[in-house]
Amino acid sequence: MALPILETPTYELTLPSTGKLIKYRPFLVKEYKILLTAVESDTQEITRVLIELIDNCTFKKLDMNQLAHFDIEYIFINLRAKSIGELTDLAYKCSCEFDNSFQINLLDVNIKNDKNISNKIMVSDNVGIILRYPKFEEMLEIYDNLKTEKIIDLVSSCITKIFTKDEIFETSEVSKEEVVAFLETFNKEQFEKIENFFVHMPRIVHELDHSCTNCGKTNKIVLEGLQNFFV
């Protein structure tokens, strides 16, 4: 006699980058075991496992190559909440050197989005660019290596169009070297306009106040990025 097959519940959430409603299921025990193994691996393997997990749990309805990094992070946090539990234990060290522990509800974690930031940037009176949000694997590479050439490489990859009053250049139709050379002609003020886009782009963030159980000091805790909520 065949063993019973358990039904897996389905949930909905809104994709931050597009506002589109998507469906997802919790990850299974066998998928969780693979995820735990990946935590000890390199960046490339973590990226592969995480994206494959999200792809499976969203029923392969999303184009994983087009999702912004904060889409991936937001989907995963919701997956983790529904798969393992909404509450997660975290810790921090107070200035008195005491190690504090506390809990947060993952469903309280939101996307912080500055709606005044545009992806269309005029770098001079006559020249402008259109930017896209970085992908998940691109952000992981930056976290691993903050060298200037890596940052330039990321920015150049995120430029989709360069335009003047008379012409529009699709960066997909020119070499990466040409885009990098274009960026290297920017002065400090022009490059800061691009930096502003990346600094204020949507991101996972959760802020709370916590009183140290040793000295009573109230600490402002800001949690950002997937590393705080991974497993």
The residue written with tokens 């886009």 in the block is 197
Q: What is the pLDDT of residues 154-174, one digit of tens each?
A: 899 999 999 999 999 999 999
Residue 23, CA distances (Å) to 74, 79, 87, 167, 189 in order: 13, 11, 22, 41, 43
Residue of 146, 128, 141, 119 lying closest to 200 (CA atoms): 119
* Percent residues over pLDDT 90 in the chain: 57
According to DSSP, the β-strands at 21-24 and 87-93 are unpaired
Label residue 223 by pLDDT band (50, 70, 90).
confident
Cβ-proximal residues to 102 (8 Å cutoff; 6+ apart), any chain: 89, 90, 91, 92, 208, 210, 221
- Confidence (pLDDT) at 5: 65
Q: Is the pLDDT of residue 38 over 80?
A: no
